[in-house]
Amino acid sequence: MKILHSLCDTRHFVNEIKKKGLSMGLVPTMGALHEGHLSLVRESKRQCDVTIVSIFVNPTQFGPKEDFKAYPRTMDEDSILLKKEGVDAIFSPSSDDMYPQDGLAATQVFVPELSTLYCGVSRPHFFNGVCMLVSRLFHCIPADKAFFGEKDFQQLTIIKKMVRDLLIPIHIVGCPLIREKNGLAMSSRNRYLSGPEFDEASRLYLALSEARQSFYNGETSSHILTTRIRSLLIRNGYINMDYCVLVNPVTLQEEAVARKGARLLVAGWIGKTRLIDTLML
Ligand code: AMP
Protein backbone atom coordinates (compact mmCIF):
# COMPACT_ATOMS: atom_id res chain seq x y z
CA MET A 1 0.00 0.00 0.00
CA LYS A 2 1.42 3.38 -1.07
CA ILE A 3 1.24 6.38 1.22
CA LEU A 4 1.02 9.47 -0.94
CA HIS A 5 1.67 12.87 0.59
CA SER A 6 2.73 15.13 -2.27
CA LEU A 7 0.53 16.15 -5.17
CA CYS A 8 3.34 15.30 -7.58
CA ASP A 9 3.65 11.68 -6.38
CA THR A 10 -0.12 11.37 -6.39
CA ARG A 11 -0.43 12.57 -10.00
CA HIS A 12 2.27 10.13 -11.03
CA PHE A 13 0.52 7.23 -9.24
CA VAL A 14 -2.84 8.12 -10.79
CA ASN A 15 -1.35 8.49 -14.29
CA GLU A 16 0.20 5.02 -14.07
CA ILE A 17 -3.20 3.55 -13.19
CA LYS A 18 -4.86 5.35 -16.09
CA LYS A 19 -2.14 4.18 -18.48
CA LYS A 20 -2.88 0.59 -17.49
CA GLY A 21 -6.57 1.17 -18.22
CA LEU A 22 -7.59 0.27 -14.64
CA SER A 23 -10.68 1.71 -12.99
CA MET A 24 -10.15 3.84 -9.89
CA GLY A 25 -12.28 4.31 -6.79
CA LEU A 26 -11.77 7.15 -4.29
CA VAL A 27 -12.99 7.10 -0.69
CA PRO A 28 -12.63 10.56 0.91
CA THR A 29 -12.37 10.51 4.74
CA MET A 30 -11.08 12.51 7.68
CA GLY A 31 -9.54 9.39 9.21
CA ALA A 32 -10.27 7.94 12.68
CA LEU A 33 -11.64 5.08 10.66
CA HIS A 34 -14.39 2.70 11.73
CA GLU A 35 -16.57 0.05 10.10
CA GLY A 36 -18.66 2.74 8.37
CA HIS A 37 -15.60 3.98 6.46
CA LEU A 38 -14.46 0.41 5.79
CA SER A 39 -17.82 -0.42 4.22
CA LEU A 40 -17.13 2.31 1.62
CA VAL A 41 -13.67 0.87 1.03
CA ARG A 42 -15.13 -2.61 0.48
CA GLU A 43 -17.70 -1.23 -1.97
CA SER A 44 -14.96 0.59 -3.87
CA LYS A 45 -12.89 -2.58 -4.03
CA ARG A 46 -15.94 -4.46 -5.28
CA GLN A 47 -16.61 -1.94 -8.05
CA CYS A 48 -13.11 -0.71 -9.03
CA ASP A 49 -9.69 -2.17 -9.85
CA VAL A 50 -7.77 0.27 -7.66
CA THR A 51 -8.93 1.94 -4.43
CA ILE A 52 -7.45 5.14 -3.00
CA VAL A 53 -8.52 6.42 0.43
CA SER A 54 -7.89 10.06 1.26
CA ILE A 55 -7.31 11.05 4.87
CA PHE A 56 -7.41 14.76 5.55
CA VAL A 57 -8.94 16.64 8.47
CA ASN A 58 -10.28 19.52 6.44
CA PRO A 59 -9.88 22.85 8.26
CA THR A 60 -12.32 24.75 6.04
CA GLN A 61 -15.31 22.67 7.13
CA PHE A 62 -14.90 23.44 10.84
CA GLY A 63 -16.34 26.60 12.40
CA PRO A 64 -14.14 28.70 14.69
CA LYS A 65 -15.74 27.15 17.81
CA GLU A 66 -15.75 23.58 16.50
CA ASP A 67 -13.47 20.64 17.25
CA PHE A 68 -10.83 20.97 14.47
CA LYS A 69 -7.88 20.76 16.88
CA ALA A 70 -9.44 18.01 19.00
CA TYR A 71 -10.65 15.93 16.03
CA PRO A 72 -9.13 12.43 16.40
CA ARG A 73 -6.07 11.81 14.23
CA THR A 74 -5.12 8.13 14.18
CA MET A 75 -3.01 7.71 11.06
CA ASP A 76 -1.07 4.65 12.30
CA GLU A 77 -4.19 2.67 13.22
CA ASP A 78 -5.94 3.83 10.03
CA SER A 79 -3.03 2.62 7.87
CA ILE A 80 -3.13 -0.81 9.48
CA LEU A 81 -6.88 -1.12 8.89
CA LEU A 82 -6.61 0.00 5.27
CA LYS A 83 -3.69 -2.29 4.54
CA LYS A 84 -5.73 -5.21 5.87
CA GLU A 85 -8.58 -4.24 3.51
CA GLY A 86 -6.17 -4.36 0.56
CA VAL A 87 -6.35 -0.64 -0.24
CA ASP A 88 -3.86 0.40 -2.94
CA ALA A 89 -2.98 3.86 -1.67
CA ILE A 90 -3.67 6.42 1.04
CA PHE A 91 -3.62 10.05 -0.04
CA SER A 92 -2.75 12.18 2.96
CA PRO A 93 -1.94 15.69 1.78
CA SER A 94 -0.85 18.70 3.83
CA SER A 95 -3.10 21.71 4.34
CA ASP A 96 -0.66 23.80 2.30
CA ASP A 97 -1.03 21.45 -0.64
CA MET A 98 -4.82 21.44 -0.50
CA TYR A 99 -5.08 25.16 0.19
CA PRO A 100 -2.03 26.94 -1.27
CA GLN A 101 -3.83 30.15 -0.35
CA ASP A 102 -5.40 30.77 3.03
CA GLY A 103 -8.71 28.80 3.04
CA LEU A 104 -10.95 31.85 3.15
CA ALA A 105 -9.09 33.67 0.38
CA ALA A 106 -9.15 30.63 -1.90
CA THR A 107 -11.65 29.84 -4.65
CA GLN A 108 -14.87 28.62 -3.08
CA VAL A 109 -17.37 26.04 -4.25
CA PHE A 110 -20.84 26.62 -2.89
CA VAL A 111 -24.13 24.86 -3.61
CA PRO A 112 -26.40 27.58 -2.24
CA GLU A 113 -29.89 26.10 -2.26
CA LEU A 114 -28.86 22.87 -0.49
CA SER A 115 -25.97 24.07 1.69
CA THR A 116 -27.98 26.57 3.70
CA LEU A 117 -30.54 24.01 4.93
CA TYR A 118 -30.52 21.80 8.08
CA CYS A 119 -26.85 21.18 9.07
CA GLY A 120 -25.97 24.34 7.12
CA VAL A 121 -27.98 26.46 9.59
CA SER A 122 -26.03 25.55 12.70
CA ARG A 123 -22.78 24.94 10.76
CA PRO A 124 -22.67 27.71 8.14
CA HIS A 125 -19.06 26.91 7.12
CA PHE A 126 -19.58 23.23 6.79
CA PHE A 127 -20.80 22.39 3.28
CA ASN A 128 -18.80 25.18 1.70
CA GLY A 129 -15.66 23.63 3.24
CA VAL A 130 -16.70 20.11 2.19
CA CYS A 131 -17.25 21.22 -1.41
CA MET A 132 -13.96 23.17 -1.48
CA LEU A 133 -12.11 20.06 -0.38
CA VAL A 134 -13.96 17.40 -2.35
CA SER A 135 -13.74 19.37 -5.62
CA ARG A 136 -9.96 19.71 -5.05
CA LEU A 137 -9.66 15.99 -4.28
CA PHE A 138 -11.50 15.19 -7.50
CA HIS A 139 -8.98 17.26 -9.44
CA CYS A 140 -5.98 15.58 -7.79
CA ILE A 141 -7.49 12.13 -8.15
CA PRO A 142 -9.71 11.87 -11.23
CA ALA A 143 -11.28 8.60 -10.10
CA ASP A 144 -14.02 6.81 -12.01
CA LYS A 145 -16.15 6.53 -8.89
CA ALA A 146 -16.15 8.16 -5.46
CA PHE A 147 -17.85 6.55 -2.47
CA PHE A 148 -19.75 8.47 0.20
CA GLY A 149 -21.92 7.34 3.11
CA GLU A 150 -25.66 7.89 3.29
CA LYS A 151 -25.06 8.66 6.95
CA ASP A 152 -24.17 12.20 5.85
CA PHE A 153 -27.19 12.31 3.58
CA GLN A 154 -27.26 16.08 3.03
CA GLN A 155 -23.53 16.02 2.21
CA LEU A 156 -24.02 13.15 -0.27
CA THR A 157 -26.86 15.01 -2.00
CA ILE A 158 -24.82 18.22 -2.21
CA ILE A 159 -21.80 16.41 -3.66
CA LYS A 160 -23.98 14.72 -6.28
CA LYS A 161 -25.31 18.15 -7.28
CA MET A 162 -21.85 19.76 -7.28
CA VAL A 163 -20.53 17.02 -9.58
CA ARG A 164 -23.49 17.43 -11.95
CA ASP A 165 -23.29 21.23 -11.98
CA LEU A 166 -19.50 21.39 -12.49
CA LEU A 167 -19.52 18.56 -15.06
CA ILE A 168 -16.99 16.55 -13.05
CA PRO A 169 -16.74 13.12 -14.72
CA ILE A 170 -16.85 11.07 -11.49
CA HIS A 171 -19.74 8.81 -10.59
CA ILE A 172 -20.85 9.33 -6.98
CA VAL A 173 -21.87 6.12 -5.19
CA GLY A 174 -23.95 6.40 -2.00
CA CYS A 175 -23.39 3.56 0.51
CA PRO A 176 -25.68 2.41 3.36
CA LEU A 177 -25.29 3.71 6.90
CA ILE A 178 -23.46 1.31 9.25
CA ARG A 179 -24.58 1.21 12.90
CA GLU A 180 -23.22 0.18 16.27
CA LYS A 181 -24.89 -2.81 17.94
CA ASN A 182 -27.18 -0.46 19.89
CA GLY A 183 -28.33 1.23 16.67
CA LEU A 184 -26.24 4.39 16.96
CA ALA A 185 -24.84 5.51 13.58
CA MET A 186 -21.08 4.88 13.58
CA SER A 187 -19.11 8.11 13.61
CA SER A 188 -15.55 9.18 14.41
CA ARG A 189 -17.11 11.56 16.95
CA ASN A 190 -18.72 8.69 18.91
CA ARG A 191 -15.41 8.33 20.75
CA TYR A 192 -16.21 11.66 22.46
CA LEU A 193 -19.28 10.06 24.13
CA SER A 194 -19.15 8.79 27.71
CA GLY A 195 -20.65 5.33 28.44
CA PRO A 196 -24.07 6.71 29.49
CA GLU A 197 -24.06 9.15 26.55
CA PHE A 198 -23.33 6.30 24.13
CA ASP A 199 -26.34 4.40 25.51
CA GLU A 200 -28.53 7.49 25.36
CA ALA A 201 -27.46 8.21 21.77
CA SER A 202 -29.13 4.99 20.60
CA ARG A 203 -32.43 6.83 21.07
CA LEU A 204 -31.85 8.65 17.78
CA TYR A 205 -32.19 5.43 15.83
CA LEU A 206 -35.01 4.13 18.04
CA ALA A 207 -37.01 7.33 17.49
CA LEU A 208 -36.44 7.22 13.71
CA SER A 209 -37.42 3.54 13.62
CA GLU A 210 -40.60 4.20 15.57
CA ALA A 211 -41.55 6.97 13.16
CA ARG A 212 -40.92 4.67 10.20
CA GLN A 213 -43.11 2.02 11.85
CA SER A 214 -45.89 4.61 12.33
CA PHE A 215 -45.63 5.42 8.62
CA TYR A 216 -45.98 1.73 7.74
CA ASN A 217 -48.97 1.59 10.10
CA GLY A 218 -50.65 4.30 8.01
CA GLU A 219 -49.52 7.67 9.40
CA THR A 220 -48.66 9.97 6.48
CA SER A 221 -48.49 13.36 8.19
CA SER A 222 -44.89 14.51 8.15
CA HIS A 223 -45.70 16.91 11.00
CA ILE A 224 -47.00 14.10 13.22
CA LEU A 225 -44.05 11.82 12.42
CA THR A 226 -41.38 14.43 13.12
CA THR A 227 -43.15 15.73 16.24
CA ARG A 228 -43.20 12.19 17.54
CA ILE A 229 -39.44 11.85 16.99
CA ARG A 230 -38.77 15.15 18.77
CA SER A 231 -40.90 14.19 21.76
CA LEU A 232 -39.23 10.78 22.06
CA LEU A 233 -35.80 12.41 21.94
CA ILE A 234 -36.28 15.31 24.29
CA ARG A 235 -38.38 13.38 26.83
CA ASN A 236 -35.68 13.37 29.51
CA GLY A 237 -33.79 16.36 28.17
CA TYR A 238 -30.64 14.40 27.38
CA ILE A 239 -30.62 15.21 23.67
CA ASN A 240 -30.53 18.83 22.65
CA MET A 241 -32.35 18.79 19.28
CA ASP A 242 -31.06 20.72 16.30
CA TYR A 243 -33.55 19.69 13.61
CA CYS A 244 -35.80 16.84 12.59
CA VAL A 245 -37.32 16.86 9.10
CA LEU A 246 -38.81 14.60 6.48
CA VAL A 247 -37.40 15.48 3.06
CA ASN A 248 -37.46 14.62 -0.61
CA PRO A 249 -34.26 12.57 -1.14
CA VAL A 250 -33.20 14.52 -4.25
CA THR A 251 -34.23 18.12 -3.60
CA LEU A 252 -33.93 17.92 0.22
CA GLN A 253 -37.09 20.04 0.41
CA GLU A 254 -39.42 19.21 3.31
CA GLU A 255 -42.34 16.95 2.44
CA ALA A 256 -45.74 17.61 4.06
CA VAL A 257 -46.99 14.15 3.19
CA ALA A 258 -44.84 11.12 3.94
CA ARG A 259 -44.27 8.67 1.10
CA LYS A 260 -42.07 5.66 0.56
CA GLY A 261 -38.47 6.67 -0.30
CA ALA A 262 -38.62 9.97 1.64
CA ARG A 263 -35.79 10.61 4.14
CA LEU A 264 -35.99 11.40 7.81
CA LEU A 265 -33.03 13.55 8.86
CA VAL A 266 -32.25 14.33 12.47
CA ALA A 267 -29.44 16.14 14.30
CA GLY A 268 -28.80 17.01 17.92
CA TRP A 269 -26.21 17.30 20.65
CA ILE A 270 -25.54 14.90 23.47
CA GLY A 271 -23.37 16.88 25.84
CA LYS A 272 -20.91 18.63 23.51
CA THR A 273 -21.06 15.96 20.81
CA ARG A 274 -23.10 16.67 17.70
CA LEU A 275 -24.74 13.61 16.18
CA ILE A 276 -26.73 13.12 13.00
CA ASP A 277 -28.82 10.23 11.78
CA THR A 278 -31.13 9.36 8.90
CA LEU A 279 -33.62 6.72 7.85
CA MET A 280 -35.47 6.15 4.60
CA LEU A 281 -39.21 5.52 4.77
P1 AMP B 1 -15.77 11.37 7.64
O2 AMP B 1 -14.46 10.75 7.91
O3 AMP B 1 -16.65 11.50 8.86
O4 AMP B 1 -15.67 12.66 6.85
O5 AMP B 1 -16.55 10.37 6.69
C6 AMP B 1 -15.98 9.91 5.50
C7 AMP B 1 -17.02 9.15 4.72
O8 AMP B 1 -17.46 8.03 5.49
C9 AMP B 1 -18.28 10.00 4.41
O10 AMP B 1 -18.70 9.69 3.09
C11 AMP B 1 -19.26 9.50 5.44
O12 AMP B 1 -20.61 9.63 5.03
C13 AMP B 1 -18.88 8.03 5.55
N14 AMP B 1 -19.35 7.47 6.80
C15 AMP B 1 -19.09 7.94 8.04
N16 AMP B 1 -19.76 7.21 8.97
C17 AMP B 1 -20.45 6.27 8.29
C18 AMP B 1 -21.34 5.22 8.67
N19 AMP B 1 -21.66 5.01 9.94
N20 AMP B 1 -21.86 4.43 7.70
C21 AMP B 1 -21.54 4.66 6.39
N22 AMP B 1 -20.72 5.64 5.97
C23 AMP B 1 -20.18 6.43 6.90
58: containing domain = 2-175
Look at residue 103 in the predicted model and tell me its pLDDT.
Answer: 61
Q: Is 192 helix (H, G, I), strand (E, B) or coil?
A: helix
Q: Give Cα separations from 125 to 121, 137, 175, 194 (angstroms).
A: 9, 18, 25, 27
User: Domain check: are 207 and 260 in the same one?
Assistant: yes
Residue nearest to atom 22 of ligand 1 (CA): 149
Q: Is 279 within the bounds of a domain?
A: no
Q: Which of 149, 175, 201 is the last residue of a domain?
A: 175
264 and 271 in contact (C-beta within 8 Å)?
Answer: no
Considering the domain architecture, whether residues 215 and 246 belong to the same structural domain is answered as yes
170 and 198 belong to one structural domain: no
- Distance from the first to the final alpha carbon of the chain: 40
Same domain, yes or no, for 92 and 216?
Answer: no
CATH code, domain carrying 134: 3.40.50.620
**12 flagged as catalytic:** no
DSSP 102-134: -TTTS-----HHHHTSTHHHH-TTHHHHHHHHH
Name the amino acid, one letter, at 244.
Answer: C
Choose, from 12, 37, 139, 223, the residue flagged as catalytic: 37
Q: Are 148 and 130 in contact (CB under 8 A)?
A: no
- Residue 148 Cβ contacting ligand 1 at under 6 Å: yes
Q: For residue 126, what pLDDT is reported?
A: 96
187 lines ligand 1 (CB under 6 A): yes
**Strand, helix or coil for residue 57:** coil
In a domain, 183, yes or no: no
Q: Which of 205, 231, 226 is nearest to 215 (CA)?
A: 226
Please tell me the pTM assigned to this model. 0.97
Determine, yes or no, domain membership for 281: no
25 shares a domain with 158: yes
- Among 51, 68, 152, 180, say which to mutate for ligand 1: greatest number of ligand atoms within 8 Å of CB: 152
Pocket test for ligand 1, best of 34, 39, 40 (most atoms within 8 A of CB): 40
Using a 6 Å cutoff on CB, does residue 44 contact ligand 1?
A: no
Q: Are residues 30 and 77 in the same domain?
A: yes
pLDDT tens for the chain, residues 1 to 281: 999 999 999 999 999 999 999 999 999 999 999 999 999 999 999 999 999 999 999 999 999 888 899 999 999 999 999 999 999 999 999 999 999 877 667 888 999 999 999 999 999 989 999 999 999 999 999 999 999 999 999 999 999 999 999 999 999 999 999 999 999 999 999 999 999 999 999 999 999 999 999 999 999 999 999 999 999 998 766 789 999 999 999 999 999 999 999 999 999 999 999 999 999 99
